[in-house]
Amino acid sequence: MNDSPASALDIGACLNDAIEVYKRNWIVLAVCALLFDLLTTFTLGILAGPLIAGWCHLTLKAFAHPDRRAEVGDLFSAMHPFGRRVGLFFAYAFLTILSFLCLVIPVFITTTFFFYAFLLSYDRDLGVVDSLKKSFRVVQQRGFGPHLLLNVILLALTLAPLAMAPFSLLIGIFLLPLAILIETAAYIRVVRQDQGSLAGVLGPAS
């Protein structure tokens, strides 16, 4: 990944960054995706939030240390604070469902503004409300349009397997990690590599 800070979202660069990490770790990523799907389903979504935080840890670590392989254990390394992880997932899910009930278009708007909520919660140790609010402000400041386009791409990647039965699960475990890596690449470029212009939005890192 290019270490130069990026103030705006570069979708092409995010795709390239994600593919490089994916090629080095695709087997582990597929196993993690399978575990994520199974555990999230069997726990009725209770473990979804903690496991998403695990994805954040895994992917950020993979980008930061390209010389190391990702590990399945990383998926379970960010379970705590458990209540906050669970709360963020269900708050996000509630807002998404509420938007869907209003019509399809508001769903894209909602999920785009909350694009970085889980990564901000993990990376900067934020609570549920702060994660959602600061994600909203980052997307607002960095450009809603590019984030909307990237969000649509990621939704297509994650939802496409549903139309490919009976191979949905098999295809999904390979596409889900790629979508998560692309989102993490965007976070790194927009937030982590920011030169200070987001200081008023994010405040000091925890």
In a domain? residue 17:
yes
CB 75 within 8 A of CB 35: yes
Counted domains in the chain: 1
In a domain? residue 2:
no
Q: What's the confidence (pLDDT) of residue 1?
A: 52
In a domain? residue 1:
no
In the chain (206 residues long), the average pLDDT of successive 10-residue segments reads 58 97 97 98 97 98 94 97 98 94 85 98 97 97 96 94 88 97 97 87 74
In a domain? residue 6:
no
Residues of the domain holding 35: 11-193
In a domain? residue 122:
yes
Rounded CA-CA distance 113/139 in Å is 6
In this structure, the chain runs to a length of 206
Rounded CA-CA distance 174/169 in Å is 9
Q: What is the pTM of this model?
A: 0.92
Q: What's the confidence (pLDDT) of residue 206?
A: 56
In a domain? residue 163:
yes
Rounded CA-CA distance 89/79 in Å is 13
Rounded CA-CA distance 116/126 in Å is 12
Q: What are the angstrom distances between the C-alpha of 95 and each of 106, 108, 176?
A: 10, 11, 22
In a domain? residue 183:
yes
In a domain? residue 206:
no
Rounded CA-CA distance 198/101 in Å is 33
